[in-house]
Amino acid sequence: MGGVDTPCSFTRHLPLEREAAFELVVDRFADWWPREYTFSGEDLEDIGIEPMAGGACYEQARGGARIVWGTVLSIERPLFLRLAWQIGPGREVVADPAAASRVVIEFRAEGEGTRVELSHGDFLRHGEGGEHYRSVMASEGGWPFCLDKLVEAARARAHVRPRR
Q: Domain 8-160, what architecture?
A: 2-Layer Sandwich (3.30)
User: What pLDDT does 119 receive?
Assistant: 98
Alpha-carbon distances of 113 from 16, 38, 80, rounded to whole Å: 5, 28, 16
- Residue 162 CA: distances (Å) to CA of 16, 111, 155, 156, 157: 12, 18, 13, 12, 10
Mind listing the pLDDT tens digit for each residue in 90-109?
999 999 999 999 999 999 99
pLDDT band at 4 (very low <50, low <70, confident <90, very high): confident
pTM score: 0.93
Q: What is the pLDDT of residues 68-98, one digit of tens each?
A: 999 999 999 999 999 999 999 999 999 999 9
d(CA 141, CA 139): 5
pLDDT digits (tens, 9 = 90+) for 8-61: 999 999 999 999 999 999 999 999 999 999 999 999 999 999 999 999 999 999
Quote the pLDDT of residue 56: 98
